[in-house]
Amino acid sequence: MICAETRRVIDAYVDNELDLRGALEVEEHIAGCPACGAEERVLRELQASARAHLTRHPMPPDFEARLIARLRGDDAAAPVVRAAAEHVSAAGPRVVRRARRAWRWGALAPAAAAVAVLLVAVPRFWPKQSQASVEDAVIAAHVRSLLANHLTDVASSDQHTVKPWFQGKLDYSVSVTDWAAEGFPLAGGRLDYVEDMPAAALVYKRAQHVINLFVWPSKSGSEEPVQRLSRRGYGAYRWSKDGMSYWAVSDVNDADLRKFVELTRREH
């Protein structure tokens, strides 16, 4: 491991966010490199200092008591929201999905509105996502999943374990198939973010390689044929079908990735 690589992950190392192998590599490098060793010490000092010295602002003394009084008096509010969601759901299946989304992400919906405003108001921080930036985001997500200790949130080759795991975390359902018989065993699933939206990442193995299949509701809703892209040594295929966007990303050879895409498309 060289200094540049070490510096890239040294924060994650100090935060215990690297997997065992990554942590050992950093440790080994630091043992022989005074400059990176000094960087580690400085980071740990800052962390210790922050934990010891940052002001923990106390709540106003009666805040909790006032809140409890208000909640107990205001209990009628919750059924009102529930009734509203049920009322909307009478309008049809598409709206039901939206209503349920609003319910499940109830607390986050205002944030989504805020993010929407930010998208307009702060173009520098929230650049408009072109396809190229989606491509970057998806490939970055793939690389990230290999780097940090974060390939899967649910590690299982059983599609009946992986699929329900996503329920409650996403407002759409993701079909999960294990392709072990075809040489692409399912390794698990992970919740990721693409374009600030939660996306399902299904993780498959092909020999020593990893294939990430990202799935999220497509924005346009239109069907899009398979497109092949490659960037930074990774191959990617994208397509849209039945209202969902799919991206398969891997460093396996193109023939294998194409075979995987064909299998998946037949299923979805």
Partner 1 sequence: MPDHVASFEQLVLPHLQAAYNLARWLLRNDQDAEDVMQEASVRAFRSFDGIRGNNPRAWLLAVVRNSAYTFLQQNRARELATEFDEDLHVEQALSARAPETPEVLLLRSAQQRILNEAVEALPIEFREVFVLREMEELSYREIADVARIPIGTVMSRLSRARRQLQAAVARREQAGSAS
Interhelix angle 93-104/77-89, rounded to 10 degrees, is: 160
Query: Which ranges in the chain belong to alpha helices (H)?
Result: 3-14, 20-32, 34-53, 63-73, 77-89, 93-104, 109-121, 131-147, 159-166, 254-267
Site for partner 1 in 121-150 (CB under 8 A): 121-122, 124-125, 137, 140-141, 144, 148, 150
Task: Write b or e for each residue in 191-212: b if 16 or more Cβ atoms lie within 10 A of its Cβ, otherwise e.
Answer: ebebeeebbbbbbbbbeeebbb
CA 30 to chain CA centroid, Å, is: 31
Which string of x and - marks every residue 152-171 that binds partner 1 (by CB under 8 A)? -x--------------xx--
Q: Nearest to residue 232, comparing CAs of 125, 127, 123, 146? A: 146
140 φ, ψ to 5°?
-60, -40
The least CB distance from residue 148 to partner 1, in Å, is: 6
Q: Candidates 89-97, 112-120, 171-179, 241-249 — which segment interacts with partner 1 by CB under 8 A?
A: 112-120
Applying CB under 8 A, does 91 fall inside the site for partner 1? no
Applying CB under 8 A, does 69 fall inside the site for partner 1? no
Applying CB under 8 A, does 36 fall inside the site for partner 1? no
Q: Which residues bind partner 1 (CB under 8 A)?
A: 11-12, 15, 17, 42-43, 46-47, 49-51, 53-60, 63-64, 67-68, 70-72, 74-75, 77-78, 81, 103-104, 106-108, 110-111, 113-115, 117-118, 121-122, 124-125, 137, 140-141, 144, 148, 150, 153, 168-169, 192-193, 196
